[in-house]
Amino acid sequence: MLIDLIGMIIASTLIIYSVCLLNDREMKHNDKRLWQAIIIYDLIVLINNELDFTYVRSIIRLVSLILILKFIIKYDFKKILVSIVYIYTIILFIEFVLSIGFSLSLDTTSSKGLMNSINNINEIGYITFLINTISTLILLFIIKSNKGYSVYKWVYKRISIIKKSKTFYTITYILLMILFSYIIIFYTSNIIASIIMFIILLIIMTYIFAKELIVRNEYEETKEKYNSTQQSLVEYEDMIDKYRVNNHENKNQLLTIQNMIKSKDKKVNEYIDNLVGNVYMTNEKIMMDVSIIPAGGLRATIHTKLNIMDDKKIKYILNIDRKIRMVDFDNISSELNLKICKIVSIFIDNAIDEVMTHKEDKVVNIEMYIENNKLVVEVSNSFINTFDVNKIFEKKYTTKSNGHGYGLSLAKELIDSEEKLNNLNRIDDDIFTQILEIKIKK
């Protein structure tokens, strides 16, 4: 019917206009792109209406709308998908309420049931016209209001936090749910078909959320691993300083004993030689190596990792520029300081995990220096496991066994959360280097 087609044209026109209004409040009514998009979409809706299969019509309308907004209005896919989900959610709710209202006013629900009644009234031309027109006019009113626009901006901001790879799938899934719900409510009188559709959607939704929950749990376990407090790190550094002094005193005492009994008991002498030469010298070497690093947490972090490497028979090369002493960690916030410690800890753990797979050349190199008002921490290791450097920060991406693949993803999350932090990486032959840059005051 003609009135039905007029209602569809009004609805499609206002939908295009609403999307543009959401994403460009300054768009003029005489904008050529806007009218090109409206005319093309209206023509597609009219031609599409002649198709017999309802499901195909709905899908064609949706896909056409996305393509028109992308290639004529030239919005990016994230804006398009979020705004369409927002708009269709509002329209679906309004149309459903209006359809129930018309069904009740025509007194058809008691004899035919609500779903059948809604399907029947949508076949009446003037009612379809009213539903299409009223729902899109209410939509336009909501979007033009400050409250409606603020809600959209809030939703878009939250969606933007999600990783780009996940945003597309998340929004597309919601969009398909809305589309199927629209078809089920307004065009499906067969209750069996409705149940099957909802079961399929439920299975898909359950799978997605179950998968995400598993990933999230493993990710949280990794975060917990590095979730120490700033106070505990500072206290640990005090213990290191005290232990270094005590260790030095103990060594002097043992040397005195050694000189006293050297000529009388060779076994005791050999024992003390071994103790002084290996145990004490090794411990003191590690403490002396990290003593250049100013107190504040990072010294404790690196000291812990050096001890781990020593236990695992991994050689380490520690190059600390003496200019590092000028860095005042007291001027770095506790929150930022703790993030730095976590990131460095992750980088070193990642290097340790890699070199532990080597039969030879188990070496980790750690460098710290000042460059261009930045404190730079470099962690390098040789590698034999091939990897895609562009994917190393993705969750679950790993060259190791199951249960890994979250450390570097957590590091990236921490780095991205602070404007004073920057991360670079490089590959030189078979040496992989992670670089953390920390902006410091002059």
Please tell me the distance from the alpha carbon of residue 40 to that of residue 27, in angstroms, as a whole number. 18
pLDDT score of 35 more than 90: yes
Selection from 8, 14, 202, 197 nearest residue 115 by Cα: 197
* Beta-carbon contacts of residue 439 (< 8 Å; ≥ 6 apart): 373, 374, 419, 420, 421, 422
Selection from 164, 98, 82, 195 nearest residue 137 by Cα: 98
The mean pLDDT value for 286-300 works out to 77
pLDDT score of 401 more than 70: no
- Mean pLDDT, rounded, of the chain: 76
Residue 334 pLDDT class (50, 70, 90 cuts): confident
What pLDDT score was predicted for residue 384? Answer: 80
User: What pLDDT, in 10s, does the model give residues 412-440?
Assistant: 888 988 889 999 988 888 899 999 999 88
Helices (H), 356-442: 407-416
User: What pLDDT, in 10s, does the model give residues 314-330?
Assistant: 999 999 888 887 777 76
pLDDT score of 387 more than 60: yes
Please tell me the distance from the alpha carbon of residue 109 to that of residue 62, in angstroms, as a whole number. 30
Residue 398 pLDDT class (50, 70, 90 cuts): low
What pLDDT score was predicted for residue 265? Answer: 59
What pLDDT score was predicted for residue 103? Answer: 74
CA angle 285, 376, 333 (to 5 degrees): 95
pLDDT score of 402 more than 50: no
Q: Which two tokens stand for residue 9?
A: 């044209």
User: What pLDDT, in 10s, does the model give residues 48-105?
Assistant: 888 766 667 777 888 898 899 999 999 988 888 888 888 988 887 888 788 778 877 7
* Beta-carbon contacts of residue 180 (< 8 Å; ≥ 6 apart): 197, 201
Q: What is the CATH number of domain 230-439?
A: 3.30.565.10
Higher pLDDT: 58 or 15? It is: 15
3-state secondary structure of 24: coil
Please tell me the distance from the alpha carbon of residue 7 to that of residue 98, in angstroms, as a whole number. 15
pTM over 0.85: no
User: What pLDDT, in 10s, does the model give residues 218-276?
Assistant: 666 556 656 655 545 655 665 676 567 667 666 666 665 666 666 565 566 666 666 55
Work out whether strand 421-428 and strand 374-382 pair parallel, antiparallel, or are unpaired: unpaired
Selection from 178, 136, 150 nearest residue 22 by Cα: 150
Higher pLDDT: 77 or 38? It is: 38
The domain limits of the chain are 2-189, 230-439
> Could you tell me the end-to-end alpha-carbon distance of the chain, in angstroms, rounded to an integer?
75
High-pLDDT (> 90) share of the chain, %: 19
Higher pLDDT: 255 or 304? It is: 304
